[in-house]
Structure 1
Amino acid sequence: MRTLHFEISRAHRVRRCFLDCGKQSDRCSCLSLRILHYWGLGAKRLTDGDSRTIIPTRATNLAPLGYGVRHRHYQAIRSIGWNLLQLVIASGLFLSVSHNTVAAMPQSLAVELEHLGLPATAISLYVHRLGDDQPLLTHLADRPRNPASTMKLVTTAAALDLLTPTHTWQTHTYVLGQLQRGTLDGDLLIQGSGDPQLVIEDFWRLIENLRQRGLRHITGDLVLDSSLFDRNAINTKPLDHKRYRAYNTPPDALLVNFRATRLEVFPEGQSLRIYADPPATTLRLENHIKVLPGRCKGRTGGITLTVKHQANGTLAKLGGRYPVTCGPTGFGRVLLTQDAYVYGVFRHLWLASGGTLLGTWRSGVAPTNQRAFASHRSDPLANTVRDINKFSNNVMARNLLLTLAAKHTQGIATPSDGRAAVFAWLTRTGIRMPHLAMDNGSGLSRSARLSARGLGQLLLHASHGPWGPEFISSLPLAGMDGSLRQRFRGLAPRGRIRLKTGRLSGVRAMAGYVTLSDNQTHAVVILINQEKLSNRIGDAAPAAVLRWLLRPR
């Protein structure tokens, strides 16, 4: 049985609002009334203003919920329960269940959520005006829930503080052999530093740096050093059965272009041409798509993909049917293994620039007694945080957590070390998140948990911290950019809603800042967990909360 907390209050606050008991039926399923029934008490509903209130009364002909309490003890328990409650009320105390009761919520909002078909027990809310001592609204704010991608706010806030917004990553190269007249008689090693955003343009710049240093021909292998992250400690299993989707990409210290390949399908007359972007010498494509005659009529979902990994790369077969009248199309997938991708993309760009590479790829570790030959420095962390939160990039967030781990341990990084770094930061800063379970730092997890209050406390801390501007500006703007580009248009003037989104099967979440017409900014957290949650309810419920908040008072 859950613990009861007694809090000092005035007598007129004895009445408590439990919104999931707000139906017209006399039967109530909320935990608070179950407790009253257990102690032999009944209850009646009163409607008062913007709340629905439960008033305890003496029960008649009620069977206890019991947990094995025998009938001969029932009368004694009921008498004790009634006397205890009278004592509590007389002394100006009220009962509140620790964290799983349904707390007070404005009736107008409760009615709208009920109309949508969302149970009050499925949503947690926390709204707190910046600068106030107490929150404006809490509802199941201490219940642990899956936050989906709003977990990225924890990772990025910690990173801004621990690394500072100007932090950068450097990808180094080393020549392992003799370099004479443009020819390296030996191997070239690339050492990853955990850069979450080493995209194809940056990789090309690194290759240009090699050429500017005089390197043209490599007689040996391309040696890849990803040793900064412990691959054995990283969970590489996809969250769902869609293993080739980019959101399931695992992190790596030498992550290039998020390991993503975009497959383009381009009509040429009455046939179709396919190509990969970026090209990789380790990826082979086969085109088995059948051309459909007639008008397009939206028939764009008929292309299939089968992938077969081989010793020297990957074979991807595109099949199905597609009308040429639909025009070009494309989709991104993760087709190559980590090292095959880095080698294949490097080799393609290197050969295209006029260089030669005679060997294959293998793993290795950079020398500690040798200076780097050529390097690439990343954009600052503030830019990385912006892209993580605006576009909800999972693998970037996972790489960032492992970067925190490397700094925390000054050695090889594991996800558990990253979590330890974040927990130590929370303790040092005084942010209370007792229900936090981070897993991989991206929110792409079924085991990740936090509470609305805990995430709200983090938002309050971040808003007035030294890196508050960088953190707040990293959040998507409603109706304008990122994952909110198509959401909440017209709900408020442009620039007043900045929210990080989160979405998994059965989970919808939003957290960030909302500025009202009086220019007062509120930290807002909305967490919805419900089995078989529909897109309609998952999209409409946060909008209802925002409409309530933005309503003139």
Structure 2
Amino acid sequence: MHGRLVRISSVVLAGAVALTAPAVPARAAAPGDLRTDLDAILADPRLDGATVGAVVRDARTGAVRYSRGAAARVLPASNLKIYTSGAALSLLGAGYRFGTSVHARSVSGATVKGDLYLKGTGDPTMRAAEYDRLAAQVAAKGVERVEGDLVADDTWFDAVRTPSHWDPSDLQYYYAAPISALTVSPNDDFDAGSVNVTITPGAEGEPAKVALAPATDVVKIDDRAVTGPPGSPSTVAVNRAEGGDTIVVSGSYPAGAAPLTVLRTVRKPTMYAADVFRRALRAHGVRVGGTTERGRTPARAARLASRASMPLSRLTVPFLKLSNNMIAEILVKSIGRKARGRGSWDAGLPVIERYVRSLGVPAGRLEMADGSGLSRLDRTTAGDVGAVLASVRRQRWFPAWYRALPVAGDPDRMAGGTLASRMRGTPAAGNVHAKTGTLTGATALSGYVTDPSGRPLVFSVILNGYRGGAPKDIEDAIAIRLAGGTPSAAPRTARTAPRLECSWTKRC
């Protein structure tokens, strides 16, 4: 813990969180007029010709303290997850859990007569270890042999894997993985639908070694990588062509270097999950005689094993802290399934939009093309984001949701999240709880801050069409000013800022 980090305390009162000011704000100043100071920050020449949306509200009364371009329709990037997460907690419930189960129509002694069914409802927390535990439950029932096939039932959701308007060049990267009701996460970040590709150097001049984790035959490896001289630069490239199942690893990786692991998406997430489960069954002594295929679980099949995920209130932490796109899209389909009986974007997105309108957002100003904010068709306004942030403070689930937002300057990855390295050593550190957002030409920061008098504020800053890289320092300067610092307190960020959320590039 850094000595200059300052935390705020939170007190739960009647379903809301009452924010208290830091006891000793670091580098606190006596700021001038709010409008003058924020106008000066937003006068940055990088914003010449840009679309600027900014609003500050009193969190208790909703009164607007500052507004500039608040009604302009902008691309919100990952700030859209504010809407998706709030709708999920309200419509699915904070205690909602995803279920994964194993079924059979007939079991005689140690043999499943017919097929064995693996049924999913979209659980993004299913890792290889969870599938192993399911297989252990099946084995514990005395099952040693399946006469028929292993049937992967992903019918809880539709078969549309990615929105048609996502950039095709993104689809091999884990932040744009395909969505299925049966999926595998390769890590504790729950990057569902992806696999770890690890490159290990051999002896100089020899091929580099490539391995997948979890192991699967659904993805093929074309290993063209060689081992370069010790200390030589890495030129390794890892690519999966759109529509293909082969990951090509090429280039040179230096001898003696530590293994390199990258994530790549799996085009057939359902079959990937079934393959991981089938391997787990084999490890526990359960042999499947037939093939693996997709299908539907019969209504009267008996349950042999089951697993429930953590509640949504806990899942919201990695979802928002790390800006996890796949969890967002899974929640959209889950909402559609619950509200309209169809696990699809077409069913879920209108339900979320209706929920957002119920919080005071006028019809016609919101357009949701996905739940994560990865789509460039998404539109909202900074004013509406601010209004929603003020409104959700009255929800029973708000304390858990507030804690799930990234915290400025907190180096703990599961506390600071996408704000872990920002605003350190300023009055905003440990004070600002906010959702970040970054796409090429779009950056956003919206959330909560307590001013030096102890008054909780809501703010939203969304910038589109600026010059150069994402001007995160402008967002930070506004948040620091609201926390009681001087407008110049924010360090400038590099002009070559990433075009995507730092968690999507694993830079947090």
- Coarse TM-score class (shorter-chain normalised): 0.7 to 0.9
Q: Distance in 1 between matches of 2:193 and 2:485?
A: 48
Structure 1: runs of 5+ lacking an equivalent: 1-49, 52-104
CA distance in structure 2 between the partners assigned to 1:335 and 1:228 by the alignment: 19
Output the CA distance in 1 between the equivalents of 2:35 and 2:464: 20
Matches within 5 A, 1:122-161: 122-161=51-90
Quick one: distance in 1 between partners of 2:358 and 2:62?
Answer: 21
1:247 maps to 175
2:146/2:289 contact within 8 Å kept: yes
Pairwise mapping of residues 67-466 of structure 1 onto structure 2 (< 5 A)? 106-119=35-48, 121-176=50-105, 178-232=106-160, 235=163, 238-257=166-185, 258-270=192-204, 271=206, 272-296=208-232, 299-306=233-240, 314-409=245-340, 411-432=341-362, 434-466=364-396
Q: Deviation per CA, 1:171-228: give whole Å up to 9, x if none.
A: 122114x323322232111122222332333222222222222222223211111112
- CA deviations 1:443-483 (Å, max 9, x no partner) are 11111011111111111111222111011111011122211
Higher-Rg structure is: 1
Partner AA of 1:437 in structure 2: E
- The alpha-carbon deviation at position 154 of structure 1 amounts to 0.3
Instruction: Pick closer, same or farther for the CA change 1:234–1:336 going to 2, 3 Å.
Output: closer
Please say if residues 449 and 458 of structure 2, whose CA atoms lie closer than 8 Å, have aligned partners that are also in contact. Answer: yes
1:133 is displaced (CA, Å) by 4.2
CA contact (8 A) 1:261 1:333 kept: yes
Name the CA shift for 1:307/1:425 in 2 (closer, same or farther; >3 Å).
closer
Q: 1: distance between equivalents of 2:299 and 2:159?
A: 21
Contact map agreement 1:292 1:322 (CA 8 A) in 2: yes
Aligned partner letter, 1:215: V
With a CA cutoff of 8 Å and minimum separation of 6, indicate the structure with the bigger relative contact order.
2
**Offset at residue 306 of structure 1 (A):** 5.0
CA contact under 8 A between 2:178 and 2:266: conserved in structure 1?
no
Q: Distance in 2 between matches of 1:426 and 1:315?
A: 41
Give the AA of the match of 2:352: V
Q: Secondary structure at the match of 2:64?
A: coil
Distance 1:123-1:326 versus aligned 2 partners, 3 A rule:
farther
Distance of 2:237 and 2:160 partners within structure 1: 35
Counterpart of 1:209, as a letter, is Q
What's the offset of the Cα at 1:493?
Answer: 5.8
Q: Of 479, 485, 491, which residue of structure 2 is paired with 1:546?
A: 479
Structure 2 contact 50–465 (Cα < 8 Å) conserved: no
* Structure 2 residue ranges without an equivalent (≥5): 1-31, 186-191, 411-415, 487-508
- Alpha-carbon contact 2:426-2:485 (below 8 Å) kept: no
- Aligned partner of 1:521 in structure 2 is 456
Q: Residues 323-360 of structure 1, C-alpha deviation per residue, up to 9 Å, x if partnerless? A: 12432211000134223312222222222333322322
Q: Partner letter of residue 549 of structure 1? A: L
Percent identity between the two aligned chains = 25
Q: How many residues align?
A: 443
Question: Following the alignment from structure 1 to structure 2, what is the Cα–Cα distance between the partners of residues 340 and 369?
Answer: 24
Distance between the aligned counterparts of 1:405 and 1:398, measured in 2?
Answer: 11
Query: What is the deviation of 1:237?
Result: 5.9
Q: Name the one with the larger helix percent.
A: 1
Q: Contact (CA 8 Å) 1:150, 1:510: kept in 2 or not?
A: yes
Q: For 1:384 and 1:108, locate their aligned partners in 2 and report how far apart those are by CA, in whole Å.
A: 38
CA contact (8 A) 2:81 2:371 kept: yes
Q: Is the 8 A contact 1:291 1:323 kept in 2?
A: yes
Does the CA-based 8 Å contact 1:129-1:136 persist in structure 2? yes
Q: Quick one: structure 1 residues 371 and 349, their matched pair in 2 at CA, closer, same or farther if it must change by over 3 Å?
A: closer
- Shift, 1:418, TM fit: 1.1
Give distance in 1, aligned partners of 2:443 and 2:298: 47
Cα 1:226–1:483 shift into 2, 3 Å: same
- Relative to structure 1, the CA distance from residue 154 to residue 309 in structure 2 (aligned partners, 3 Å threshold; closer, same or farther) is closer
Distance change in 2, residues 1:227/1:465 (3 Å)? same
TM-score relative to the length of structure 1: 0.74
Alpha-carbon distance change, 233 to 241 in structure 1, aligned in 2, over 3 angstroms: closer
Whether the 8 Å contact between 2:216 and 2:276 is mirrored in structure 1 is yes
Alpha-carbon distance in 2 for matches of 1:200, 1:490: 40
Q: For 2:478, what is the secondary structure of its paired residue?
A: helix
Quote the residue 2:465 is aligned against. 530
The DSSP-based 3-state class of the residue aligned with 1:305 is strand
